[in-house]
Structure 1
Amino acid sequence: MNVKPKLRVLLCAPRGFCAGVVRAIDAVEEALRLHGAPVYVRHEIVHNKYVVEGLKAKGAIFVEELDEVPDTSKPVIFSAHGVPKSIPEEAEARKIFAIDATCPLVTKVHREAELHFSQGRQVILVGHAGHPEVVGTLGQLPSGSIFLVQTLDDIAKLAPKDEKNLAYVTQTTLSVDDTRCMVEALTRRFPSIIGPHREDICYATTNRQEAVKHIAPIVDALLVVGSSNSSNSQRLKEVAERSGCKLARLVLRAEDVEWDLFSNISSLGITAGASAPEILVEEIMDAFAERFDLRVETVSTADEGVFFPLPRELRQAV
């Protein structure tokens, strides 16, 4: 009889779904329940292929742009990442029944940017080019009134009209440490720049990164469960590496685990990005249990009790 090697597994807590993701997924499922299939969703509702495929199977149709949506009385849902202002305007012009599932913490960033613009400030957005959340935030303001910076070099090259009349906002899913460096560089270069009343990086991103920082230095390897196009999941892998973990990998399913790399480890950390369901964590744990004798411990660094109600159109229906 083969004796399985022992493996100490440290489960990060919190991990997985945040309140904004739960709200967005619930919005699609509630719209399907109330209005029947199909329900259209602009962009992946959250960045997780498993979640998206599950919603497709229930009758959700995912599109990248509104021109892919036929003339219909069925709802069209905007993803948790937020959209440029032009999208609701286009929906209204076409008399589309739109439901906005933008995470309230992303909406907070939009409102901040609009407030600064209304007060005559140029706005600087710290974020990753091309990410849907960044596209949505940039699209809240007229061209030329908001600038995206991704690197310290970008900050050095900024040439605002009035250096004393600036404000900054950030993407909600960035690395806490990277963002701190960017904000420090901004405030050094522009001492009078105005920041958010409360940090823009969301509670879930911060809490998940803190848990990884706690565990990464004391395990042989760390797995982040999530999709490769998920910003907060990618940042968790980077945080693990920076915190001293020599082997950190981002995987969606058990079949993605590179088992050769994990054959000689005695301790493993596991976390999940804010858009990754717990069922995928359990699947990966089961796959390790087939190969190792697991001793599982949960390491909790924060309690989360955040809840966001459904979008208004669905609350009224309920």
Structure 2
Amino acid sequence: MTLDAARPKLSLLLAAPRGFCAGVDRAVRIVEEALSRHGAPVYVRHEIVHNRHVVDDLRARGAVFVEELNEIPDDGRPVVFSAHGVAKGVVSEAMRRRLFTLDATCPLVTKVHREAERHHARGRHILLIGHAGHPEVVGTMGQLPDGAVTLVESVEQAASVTPPAGLPLAWTSQTTLSVDDTAEIVAALAARFPGLAGPAKDDICYATSNRQAAVKAVVGRGADLVIVVGAPYSSNSVRLAEVAERAGARRAVLVQRGADLDPAVADGCAAVGLTAGASAPESLVQEVIARLATRFDLAVEEVRVAEERIEFRLPPALSRSPGAMAAE
């Protein structure tokens, strides 16, 4: 009997797009380029992206991850702000200390920051849809004075939130939320506050929307189990698992890499979906495929719902050639 004949057949539906988005790719390239040009150490405030594999790889190459600027010595080394963005107070402190900073904030997060500032300048109180304590939420709230933003985490909170009286209202959101959940929260807020202003386009980023749509597509193709490659503290990865189950998958499991997966979880399944959060590299997806192949005779098919060709530029200090920088 051949090896393939000894293994049960399994249809593996690869969601596409999946994995790294343009903002994550840019953030990782910023740290890599800083290490290449300036050597180690390069300090990074907070994890550059929410993925242990990526962080450990950069740490091995000389990146030093810290939570606050007071952990960084005044030694002239580069300091990178993570893709999630930082509060204005952090930027001000870095400027006061004359730190050499490189801002890896995702441009789509920066867009949310600017929207919040514009609403505030027009006298509006901001209702921010997001998760308390998430670095992106902390950074967005930190763009405005204390009390200028009220966080709304759920439909239940939307039904009871009490913003300051007498002020016009606007909403904005964390970029990595569930598209469907956010729409429900916005609808609940709009029903209570008819004059509620919002962004010209939803703040949930294109990559989050595309990955959630791709998960729904693989479930629609018959995947009753969906495997999500991503960190348990990655908002967009956790949302993918939730979306899969709400779309009708019998079960969704979140793993950080192939070694974390018990392939027996797919026993009895005719089709399994596989995706990855926006901060998970494709190499980890391939690890999961290899892990499943130890137990199943896989028939792999990609289910694509969108093409992504967006690329974000590096900061000016890194986009110039090293020679040009030295000549300045």
Q: CA deviation at 1:151?
A: 1.5
Q: CA deviation at 1:265?
A: 1.9
Q: CA deviation at 1:163?
A: 5.5
- Do residues 200 (structure 1) and 203 (structure 2) align? yes
Counterpart Cα distance in 2 of 1:22 and 1:151: 30
Counterpart Cα distance in 2 of 1:92 and 1:30: 22
Match of 1:73 among 73, 76, 87: 76
- Do residues 161 (structure 1) and 177 (structure 2) align? no
What residue in structure 2 maps to residue 22 of structure 1? 25
Counterpart Cα distance in 2 of 1:313 and 1:148: 35
Q: CA deviation at 1:219?
A: 1.1
Moved over 6 A (4+): none
Q: Aligned ranges for residues 156-235 of structure 1 at < 5 Å?
A: 156-162=159-165, 165-217=168-220, 218-235=222-239
Q: CA deviation at 1:155?
A: 2.0
Unmatched tracts of structure 2, length 5 or more: 323-328
What residue in structure 2 maps to residue 129 of structure 1? 132
Question: For 1:142, what is the secondary structure of its paired residue?
Answer: coil
Counterpart Cα distance in 2 of 1:110 and 1:308: 17
What residue in structure 2 maps to residue 280 of structure 1? 284
Cα RMSD after superposing both structures = 1.2
Q: CA deviation at 1:164?
A: 5.8
Contact 1:164 1:193 in 2 (8 A): no
Q: CA deviation at 1:14?
A: 0.4
Counterpart Cα distance in 2 of 1:191 and 1:267: 45
- Do residues 295 (structure 1) and 299 (structure 2) align? yes
Match of 2:271 among 267, 273, 292: 267
Counterpart Cα distance in 2 of 1:301 and 1:10: 13
Question: For 2:74, what is the secondary structure of its paired residue?
Answer: coil
AA partner of residue 224 (structure 1)? V
Contact 2:80 2:102 in 1 (8 A): yes
Match of 1:253 among 239, 243, 257: 257
Q: CA deviation at 1:214?
A: 1.1
What TM-score does the superposition give when structure 1 sets the normalisation length? Answer: 0.97
- Do residues 118 (structure 1) and 121 (structure 2) align? yes
Q: CA deviation at 1:165?
A: 0.7
What TM-score does the superposition give when structure 2 sets the normalisation length? Answer: 0.95
Q: Aligned ranges for residues 73-152 of structure 1 at < 5 Å?
A: 73-152=76-155
Are the structure 2 counterparts of residues 126 and 42 from structure 1 closer, same or farther at C-alpha, using a change threshold of 3 Å? same
Question: For 2:233, what is the secondary structure of its paired residue?
Answer: coil
Counterpart Cα distance in 2 of 1:162 and 1:306: 41
Contact 1:163 1:190 in 2 (8 A): no
* Identity, % of aligned positions: 57
What residue in structure 1 maps to residue 308 of structure 2? 304
Counterpart Cα distance in 1 of 2:195 and 2:128: 16
Q: Which stretch has the larger CA shift, 212-221 or 38-47?
A: 212-221
Contact 1:164 1:190 in 2 (8 A): no
AA partner of residue 142 (structure 2)? G
Counterpart Cα distance in 2 of 1:215 and 1:238: 14
Question: For 1:87, what is the secondary structure of its paired residue?
Answer: helix
Q: Which stretch has the larger CA shift, 153-162 or 103-112?
A: 153-162
What residue in structure 1 maps to residue 240 of structure 2? 236
Q: Which stretch has the larger CA shift, 172-181 or 148-157?
A: 148-157
Counterpart Cα distance in 1 of 2:134 and 2:32: 25
